[in-house]
Amino acid sequence: MAKPRPAKRTLDSYTIKGSNKIIKPGDCVLMRPPDSSKLPYVARVESIEAGARGSNVKVRVRWYYRPEESIGGRRQFHGAKEVFLSDHYDIQSADTIEGKCFVHSFKNYTKLDAVGSDDYFCRFEYKSATGSFIPDRIAVFCKCEMPYNPDDLMIQCEGCSDWYHPACIDMTVEDAKKLEHFFCQGCSSQNEKKTENSSASRESESKVESKRLESKRRRR
């Protein structure tokens, strides 16, 4: 009869070395790269396993790729804190876990009051073998027809509801922030009069607008 392999134990949690932070399956973590000058790797912990004597803790992770780690590279619309949930799994020593992080949905990320160093967001899944994304199409905005980068301020036209980068409509970010109302070039001629006549009734609408503007404001 074959000798039984030493039993491995599945752990419910792991405490990061040198800290009191507890990691559980489903949590996102930052892992030390072999090259310490590089940014930490971002991963989601799938399971935690220890050797028979509770030593040699290993984590099964699903990697998040940063845009520069993807085949297509970083694009203009990728946010500074954007990561892609890949189909690439790995087993890593728990010793390489540097800390905990949070990978938010795109929607929740744009609603954060402040983006901390541990906050990331994910709106794409990424196939590491082919470099393809899910979804493979995404809404585009502005004259430049780009997807929304949450790091860049955009303002919304009250006429057509499209969003614009101030730079694409010859405006500075400072001026765009001061705007009470905005109509794009195409809509402005038709709507100028309407705004003047009904500025009182539009007040509540304008509050909603500035809140939205707030959520799209550049955060660093």
Contact residues for Zn ion (CB under 5 A)? 142, 144, 157, 159-160, 165, 168, 184, 187
Burial class (CB in 10 A: 0-12, 13-18, 19+), 161: exposed
CB of 109 to Zn ion, least distance (A): 20
CB of 161 to Zn ion, least distance (A): 7
CA distance linking residue 65 with residue 125, whole number of Å: 9
What SS3 class is residue 174? helix
Which segments of 40-157 does DSSP mark as H helices, in order? 106-111
DSSP letter for 146, please: B
Q: Which is nearer to Zn ion, 127 or 217 (CB)?
A: 217
Q: Give the β-pairing of 119-127 and 97-105.
A: parallel
CB of 171 to Zn ion, least distance (A): 11
Q: Which is nearer to Zn ion, 168 or 171 (CB)?
A: 168
Dihedral sign, Cα of residue 66, residue 77, residue 159, residue 212 = positive
CB of 47 to Zn ion, least distance (A): 43
Angle at 119 (CA atoms; ends 115, 120), nearest 5 degrees: 115
CB of 45 to Zn ion, least distance (A): 38
Q: Which is nearer to Zn ion, 29 or 184 (CB)?
A: 184
Q: Which is nearer to Zn ion, 24 or 74 (CB)?
A: 74
Q: Which is nearer to Zn ion, 112 or 187 (CB)?
A: 187
CB of 182 to Zn ion, least distance (A): 8
Q: Which is nearer to Zn ion, 44 or 216 (CB)?
A: 216
Give 7-31 as a DSSP string: PPEEES-EEPTTS--EE-TT-EEEE
Dihedral sign, Cα of residue 26, residue 98, residue 89, residue 149 = positive
